[in-house]
Structure 1
Amino acid sequence: MRQPESDQAMASVVSRNIAALLERRQAEERSKGAQERLADAITSFTGSMTFVYIHLVLFGAWILINVGWLTFLPRFDPTLVILAMFASVEAIFLSTFVLISQNRMQASADRRAELNLHIDLLAEHEVTRIITLLTAIGEKLGVEESRNPELEELTKDVQPEKVLDTMDQVEQENKEE
Protein backbone atom coordinates (compact mmCIF):
# COMPACT_ATOMS: atom_id res chain seq x y z
CA MET A 1 0.00 0.00 0.00
CA ARG A 2 1.44 3.34 -1.06
CA GLN A 3 1.58 6.22 1.45
CA PRO A 4 0.05 9.55 0.45
CA GLU A 5 2.63 12.14 -0.60
CA SER A 6 2.25 14.17 2.63
CA ASP A 7 2.91 11.02 4.72
CA GLN A 8 6.03 10.32 2.67
CA ALA A 9 7.25 13.90 3.24
CA MET A 10 6.54 13.52 6.94
CA ALA A 11 8.38 10.21 7.01
CA SER A 12 11.40 11.71 5.25
CA VAL A 13 11.50 14.61 7.71
CA VAL A 14 11.23 12.21 10.64
CA SER A 15 13.90 9.97 9.12
CA ARG A 16 16.19 12.94 8.56
CA ASN A 17 15.71 14.13 12.15
CA ILE A 18 16.36 10.65 13.55
CA ALA A 19 19.50 10.34 11.44
CA ALA A 20 20.71 13.78 12.57
CA LEU A 21 20.10 12.93 16.24
CA LEU A 22 21.88 9.60 15.91
CA GLU A 23 24.83 11.25 14.15
CA ARG A 24 24.99 13.85 16.91
CA ARG A 25 24.98 11.16 19.61
CA GLN A 26 27.71 9.22 17.80
CA ALA A 27 29.80 12.39 17.41
CA GLU A 28 29.45 13.06 21.14
CA GLU A 29 30.55 9.49 21.87
CA ARG A 30 33.58 9.88 19.60
CA SER A 31 34.54 13.18 21.24
CA LYS A 32 34.62 11.68 24.74
CA GLY A 33 38.06 11.50 26.29
CA ALA A 34 39.66 8.32 27.61
CA GLN A 35 38.77 9.22 31.20
CA GLU A 36 35.09 9.72 30.35
CA ARG A 37 35.01 6.44 28.43
CA LEU A 38 36.63 4.65 31.38
CA ALA A 39 34.17 6.19 33.86
CA ASP A 40 31.23 5.21 31.61
CA ALA A 41 32.55 1.66 31.18
CA ILE A 42 33.01 1.22 34.93
CA THR A 43 29.59 2.71 35.65
CA SER A 44 28.01 0.49 33.02
CA PHE A 45 29.67 -2.64 34.39
CA THR A 46 28.92 -1.84 38.04
CA GLY A 47 25.28 -1.27 37.13
CA SER A 48 24.98 -4.79 35.72
CA MET A 49 23.79 -8.06 37.20
CA THR A 50 27.20 -9.57 36.38
CA PHE A 51 28.74 -7.16 38.89
CA VAL A 52 26.14 -8.22 41.48
CA TYR A 53 26.81 -11.92 40.88
CA ILE A 54 30.57 -11.46 41.16
CA HIS A 55 30.10 -9.64 44.46
CA LEU A 56 27.72 -12.28 45.76
CA VAL A 57 30.30 -14.98 45.06
CA LEU A 58 33.33 -13.04 46.35
CA PHE A 59 31.71 -11.56 49.44
CA GLY A 60 29.82 -14.78 50.15
CA ALA A 61 33.01 -16.85 49.95
CA TRP A 62 34.91 -14.28 52.07
CA ILE A 63 32.25 -14.42 54.76
CA LEU A 64 31.90 -18.21 54.68
CA ILE A 65 35.67 -18.66 54.97
CA ASN A 66 36.08 -16.13 57.77
CA VAL A 67 33.17 -17.22 59.95
CA GLY A 68 34.63 -20.72 59.86
CA TRP A 69 32.01 -22.52 57.81
CA LEU A 70 34.58 -23.63 55.22
CA THR A 71 37.02 -25.38 57.57
CA PHE A 72 39.32 -26.59 54.79
CA LEU A 73 40.41 -22.94 54.12
CA PRO A 74 42.23 -20.83 56.72
CA ARG A 75 40.47 -17.76 58.16
CA PHE A 76 42.30 -14.58 57.11
CA ASP A 77 39.78 -11.91 58.26
CA PRO A 78 37.92 -13.36 61.27
CA THR A 79 36.45 -9.98 62.30
CA LEU A 80 35.53 -9.08 58.69
CA VAL A 81 37.21 -5.69 59.17
CA ILE A 82 39.22 -6.05 55.97
CA LEU A 83 36.03 -6.91 54.06
CA ALA A 84 34.29 -3.84 55.49
CA MET A 85 37.27 -1.64 54.58
CA PHE A 86 37.41 -3.11 51.06
CA ALA A 87 33.68 -2.54 50.58
CA SER A 88 33.93 1.04 51.87
CA VAL A 89 36.82 1.95 49.56
CA GLU A 90 35.03 0.31 46.64
CA ALA A 91 31.86 2.29 47.44
CA ILE A 92 33.83 5.56 47.46
CA PHE A 93 35.29 4.89 44.02
CA LEU A 94 32.07 3.54 42.53
CA SER A 95 30.05 6.53 43.72
CA THR A 96 32.67 8.84 42.21
CA PHE A 97 32.43 7.07 38.84
CA VAL A 98 28.64 7.25 38.98
CA LEU A 99 28.78 10.98 39.77
CA ILE A 100 31.17 11.61 36.86
CA SER A 101 28.78 9.86 34.46
CA GLN A 102 25.74 11.61 35.94
CA ASN A 103 27.38 15.02 35.63
CA ARG A 104 28.09 14.38 31.95
CA MET A 105 24.57 13.07 31.39
CA GLN A 106 23.12 16.13 33.17
CA ALA A 107 25.15 18.48 30.96
CA SER A 108 23.80 16.65 27.92
CA ALA A 109 20.24 16.86 29.28
CA ASP A 110 20.71 20.59 29.91
CA ARG A 111 21.80 21.10 26.28
CA ARG A 112 18.74 19.19 25.06
CA ALA A 113 16.46 21.24 27.33
CA GLU A 114 17.94 24.48 25.96
CA LEU A 115 17.43 23.21 22.41
CA ASN A 116 13.80 22.36 23.27
CA LEU A 117 13.31 25.84 24.71
CA HIS A 118 14.72 27.48 21.57
CA ILE A 119 12.52 25.34 19.34
CA ASP A 120 9.46 26.03 21.52
CA LEU A 121 10.12 29.79 21.38
CA LEU A 122 10.52 29.64 17.62
CA ALA A 123 7.29 27.63 17.29
CA GLU A 124 5.50 30.10 19.57
CA HIS A 125 6.68 32.98 17.40
CA GLU A 126 5.60 31.20 14.22
CA VAL A 127 2.17 30.33 15.64
CA THR A 128 1.71 33.94 16.74
CA ARG A 129 2.48 35.12 13.21
CA ILE A 130 0.11 32.53 11.72
CA ILE A 131 -2.69 33.66 14.05
CA THR A 132 -2.06 37.27 13.05
CA LEU A 133 -2.18 36.34 9.37
CA LEU A 134 -5.29 34.16 9.71
CA THR A 135 -7.06 36.85 11.74
CA ALA A 136 -6.33 39.42 9.02
CA ILE A 137 -7.59 37.01 6.35
CA GLY A 138 -10.68 36.25 8.43
CA GLU A 139 -11.45 39.95 8.89
CA LYS A 140 -11.00 40.58 5.17
CA LEU A 141 -13.41 37.72 4.38
CA GLY A 142 -15.86 38.78 7.09
CA VAL A 143 -15.48 35.64 9.23
CA GLU A 144 -17.17 36.31 12.58
CA GLU A 145 -14.68 34.21 14.61
CA SER A 146 -11.84 36.53 13.53
CA ARG A 147 -13.29 39.14 15.93
CA ASN A 148 -12.81 36.83 18.95
CA PRO A 149 -11.11 38.83 21.76
CA GLU A 150 -8.94 35.80 22.60
CA LEU A 151 -7.22 36.12 19.23
CA GLU A 152 -5.92 39.58 20.15
CA GLU A 153 -4.23 38.06 23.20
CA LEU A 154 -2.79 35.21 21.13
CA THR A 155 -1.21 37.59 18.61
CA LYS A 156 1.16 38.95 21.27
CA ASP A 157 4.63 37.41 21.42
CA VAL A 158 5.48 35.55 24.60
CA GLN A 159 8.49 36.98 26.39
CA PRO A 160 10.23 34.03 28.07
CA GLU A 161 11.96 36.16 30.67
CA LYS A 162 8.59 37.49 31.86
CA VAL A 163 7.22 33.95 32.03
CA LEU A 164 10.25 32.85 34.08
CA ASP A 165 9.90 35.90 36.37
CA THR A 166 6.21 35.07 36.93
CA MET A 167 7.06 31.42 37.64
CA ASP A 168 9.73 32.50 40.15
CA GLN A 169 7.29 34.90 41.81
CA VAL A 170 4.56 32.24 42.14
CA GLU A 171 7.08 29.73 43.47
CA GLN A 172 8.33 32.25 46.04
CA GLU A 173 4.75 33.02 47.12
CA ASN A 174 4.05 29.30 47.54
CA LYS A 175 7.15 28.90 49.72
CA GLU A 176 6.04 31.78 51.96
CA GLU A 177 2.62 30.21 52.59
Structure 2
Amino acid sequence: MSKIIQSFEAKELKKRPFIIKIADRLTSFFGSISFLILNLLFFVSWIIFNKFDQFPFPMLTMIVSLEAIFLTIIMLVSQQRQAHIATIREELDMQVNKYSEREITKVLNLLKIIAEKQDIKLDDKELDEMLNELELGYIERKLEEQLSEKQKLIIDLSPLNKS
Protein backbone atom coordinates (compact mmCIF):
# COMPACT_ATOMS: atom_id res chain seq x y z
CA MET A 1 0.00 0.00 0.00
CA SER A 2 2.83 2.36 0.89
CA LYS A 3 4.47 1.73 -2.50
CA ILE A 4 1.18 2.43 -4.29
CA ILE A 5 0.86 5.80 -2.56
CA GLN A 6 4.52 6.63 -3.20
CA SER A 7 4.25 5.76 -6.89
CA PHE A 8 0.97 7.68 -7.13
CA GLU A 9 2.60 10.74 -5.59
CA ALA A 10 5.63 10.43 -7.86
CA LYS A 11 3.33 10.29 -10.91
CA GLU A 12 1.43 13.35 -9.71
CA LEU A 13 4.69 15.25 -9.19
CA LYS A 14 5.83 14.38 -12.71
CA LYS A 15 2.48 15.42 -14.25
CA ARG A 16 2.65 18.94 -12.80
CA PRO A 17 2.70 21.74 -15.36
CA PHE A 18 5.89 23.81 -15.48
CA ILE A 19 4.27 26.82 -13.77
CA ILE A 20 3.10 24.62 -10.87
CA LYS A 21 6.62 23.20 -10.49
CA ILE A 22 7.90 26.77 -10.19
CA ALA A 23 5.19 27.59 -7.63
CA ASP A 24 6.13 24.51 -5.58
CA ARG A 25 9.83 25.39 -5.65
CA LEU A 26 9.11 28.97 -4.67
CA THR A 27 6.80 27.83 -1.87
CA SER A 28 9.56 25.59 -0.59
CA PHE A 29 12.02 28.50 -0.67
CA PHE A 30 9.57 30.94 0.93
CA GLY A 31 9.13 28.55 3.84
CA SER A 32 12.86 28.42 4.56
CA ILE A 33 15.09 30.17 7.06
CA SER A 34 17.15 31.46 4.12
CA PHE A 35 14.16 33.45 2.87
CA LEU A 36 13.55 34.85 6.35
CA ILE A 37 17.18 35.96 6.65
CA LEU A 38 17.15 37.39 3.12
CA ASN A 39 14.05 39.45 3.93
CA LEU A 40 15.49 40.59 7.24
CA LEU A 41 18.74 41.70 5.57
CA PHE A 42 16.85 43.48 2.79
CA PHE A 43 14.56 45.41 5.16
CA VAL A 44 17.34 46.37 7.58
CA SER A 45 19.57 47.47 4.68
CA TRP A 46 16.72 49.47 3.17
CA ILE A 47 16.01 51.28 6.42
CA ILE A 48 19.67 52.00 7.16
CA PHE A 49 21.18 52.76 3.74
CA ASN A 50 18.54 54.14 1.41
CA LYS A 51 18.51 57.90 0.82
CA PHE A 52 15.52 58.27 -1.50
CA ASP A 53 12.78 56.57 0.57
CA GLN A 54 12.69 58.39 3.88
CA PHE A 55 10.57 57.52 6.92
CA PRO A 56 7.71 56.35 6.87
CA PHE A 57 9.13 54.45 3.86
CA PRO A 58 6.22 54.57 1.37
CA MET A 59 8.17 52.73 -1.33
CA LEU A 60 9.22 49.99 1.11
CA THR A 61 5.59 49.68 2.19
CA MET A 62 4.54 49.21 -1.43
CA ILE A 63 7.27 46.60 -2.00
CA VAL A 64 6.25 44.68 1.13
CA SER A 65 2.58 44.81 0.09
CA LEU A 66 3.38 43.48 -3.38
CA GLU A 67 5.58 40.78 -1.89
CA ALA A 68 2.73 39.72 0.40
CA ILE A 69 0.30 39.54 -2.53
CA PHE A 70 2.63 37.43 -4.66
CA LEU A 71 3.63 35.19 -1.75
CA THR A 72 -0.03 34.55 -0.99
CA ILE A 73 -0.91 33.73 -4.60
CA ILE A 74 2.06 31.38 -5.02
CA MET A 75 1.31 29.64 -1.72
CA LEU A 76 -2.37 29.22 -2.64
CA VAL A 77 -1.48 27.69 -6.02
CA SER A 78 0.81 25.18 -4.33
CA GLN A 79 -1.69 24.49 -1.56
CA GLN A 80 -4.47 23.87 -4.07
CA ARG A 81 -2.37 21.23 -5.86
CA GLN A 82 -1.51 19.58 -2.54
CA ALA A 83 -5.19 19.54 -1.58
CA HIS A 84 -5.99 17.85 -4.90
CA ILE A 85 -3.42 15.13 -4.22
CA ALA A 86 -4.76 14.69 -0.68
CA THR A 87 -8.30 14.29 -2.02
CA ILE A 88 -7.21 11.61 -4.48
CA ARG A 89 -5.23 9.85 -1.74
CA GLU A 90 -8.28 9.89 0.55
CA GLU A 91 -10.44 8.43 -2.23
CA LEU A 92 -7.87 5.68 -2.82
CA ASP A 93 -7.75 4.99 0.91
CA MET A 94 -11.55 4.77 1.05
CA GLN A 95 -11.64 2.31 -1.86
CA VAL A 96 -9.00 0.12 -0.20
CA ASN A 97 -10.91 0.24 3.10
CA LYS A 98 -14.17 -0.75 1.38
CA TYR A 99 -12.44 -3.65 -0.35
CA SER A 100 -10.80 -4.74 2.92
CA GLU A 101 -14.15 -4.59 4.70
CA ARG A 102 -15.70 -6.93 2.11
CA GLU A 103 -12.75 -9.32 2.40
CA ILE A 104 -12.93 -9.40 6.20
CA THR A 105 -16.69 -9.98 6.13
CA LYS A 106 -16.17 -12.86 3.69
CA VAL A 107 -13.46 -14.40 5.90
CA LEU A 108 -15.70 -14.13 8.98
CA ASN A 109 -18.53 -15.84 7.10
CA LEU A 110 -16.19 -18.65 6.06
CA LEU A 111 -14.96 -19.03 9.65
CA LYS A 112 -18.56 -19.21 10.86
CA ILE A 113 -19.30 -21.96 8.33
CA ILE A 114 -16.21 -23.87 9.46
CA ALA A 115 -17.21 -23.45 13.12
CA GLU A 116 -20.73 -24.74 12.36
CA LYS A 117 -19.32 -27.79 10.55
CA GLN A 118 -17.13 -28.49 13.58
CA ASP A 119 -20.18 -28.18 15.88
CA ILE A 120 -18.71 -25.14 17.62
CA LYS A 121 -21.45 -22.93 19.06
CA LEU A 122 -20.98 -19.23 18.43
CA ASP A 123 -23.20 -17.04 20.55
CA ASP A 124 -21.60 -13.69 19.89
CA LYS A 125 -23.81 -10.72 19.00
CA GLU A 126 -20.82 -8.64 17.98
CA LEU A 127 -19.77 -11.34 15.52
CA ASP A 128 -23.31 -11.45 14.12
CA GLU A 129 -23.10 -7.71 13.47
CA MET A 130 -19.70 -8.10 11.82
CA LEU A 131 -21.05 -10.78 9.50
CA ASN A 132 -23.31 -8.21 7.85
CA GLU A 133 -21.76 -6.09 5.14
CA LEU A 134 -21.08 -2.53 6.10
CA GLU A 135 -23.84 -0.17 5.05
CA LEU A 136 -21.81 2.65 3.56
CA GLY A 137 -24.90 4.70 2.67
CA TYR A 138 -25.99 4.68 6.33
CA ILE A 139 -22.53 5.73 7.51
CA GLU A 140 -22.41 8.48 4.89
CA ARG A 141 -25.80 9.84 6.00
CA LYS A 142 -24.76 9.80 9.67
CA LEU A 143 -21.53 11.65 8.86
CA GLU A 144 -23.45 14.26 6.86
CA GLU A 145 -25.87 14.72 9.79
CA GLN A 146 -22.99 15.18 12.23
CA LEU A 147 -21.23 17.64 9.95
CA SER A 148 -24.47 19.54 9.42
CA GLU A 149 -25.03 19.76 13.20
CA LYS A 150 -21.47 21.00 13.76
CA GLN A 151 -21.85 23.56 10.99
CA LYS A 152 -25.10 24.84 12.54
CA LEU A 153 -23.39 25.07 15.93
CA ILE A 154 -20.49 27.03 14.43
CA ILE A 155 -22.91 29.42 12.72
CA ASP A 156 -24.96 29.81 15.93
CA LEU A 157 -21.82 30.58 17.97
CA SER A 158 -20.42 32.98 15.39
CA PRO A 159 -20.17 36.58 16.62
CA LEU A 160 -21.33 37.67 13.15
CA ASN A 161 -24.63 35.87 13.78
CA LYS A 162 -25.43 38.00 16.86
CA SER A 163 -27.87 40.83 16.20
Q: Give the TM-score of the pair, scaled to structure 2.
A: 0.84
Does 1:164 find its partner at 2:149?
no
Greater C-alpha radius of gyration: 1
In structure 1, how many angstroms separate the alpha carbons of the residues matched to 2:20 and 2:127? 51
Aligned to 1:149: 125
Q: Give the TM-score of the pair, scaled to structure 1.
A: 0.78
Deviations 1:19-77 (A, max 9, x none): 544433332222111110111111111111111111111100111235xxxxxxxx111
Aligned to 1:64: 48
Query: Contact (CA 8 Å) 2:29, 2:35: kept in 1 or not?
Result: yes
Q: 1:171 to 1:29 in 2, by over 3 A?
A: closer
Q: Which has the bigger relative contact order, CA under 8 A and spacing at least 6?
A: 2
Q: 1:81 to 1:104 in 2, by over 3 A?
A: same
Shift >6 Å, 4+ stretches: none
Does 1:52 find its partner at 2:52?
no
Q: Which moved more, 1:101-110 or 1:48-57?
A: 48-57
In structure 2, how many angstroms separate the alpha carbons of the residues matched to 1:91 and 1:26? 31
2:11 to 14, 27, 38: 27
Alignment of 1:93-172 (within 5 A): 93-144=70-121, 146-172=122-148
Q: 1:113 to 1:19 in 2, by over 3 A?
A: closer
Two-structure CA RMSD over aligned residues (Å): 1.9
Q: Which amino acid is 1:161 matched to?
A: G
Identity of aligned residues (%): 30
Query: Contact (CA 8 Å) 1:135, 1:151: kept in 2 or not?
Result: no
Query: Contact (CA 8 Å) 2:23, 2:74: kept in 1 or not?
Result: yes
Tell me how far 1:114 sits from its aligned partner. 0.5
Query: Contact (CA 8 Å) 1:139, 1:147: kept in 2 or not?
Result: no
Q: Tell me the secondary structure at the aligned position of residue 101 of structure 2.
A: helix
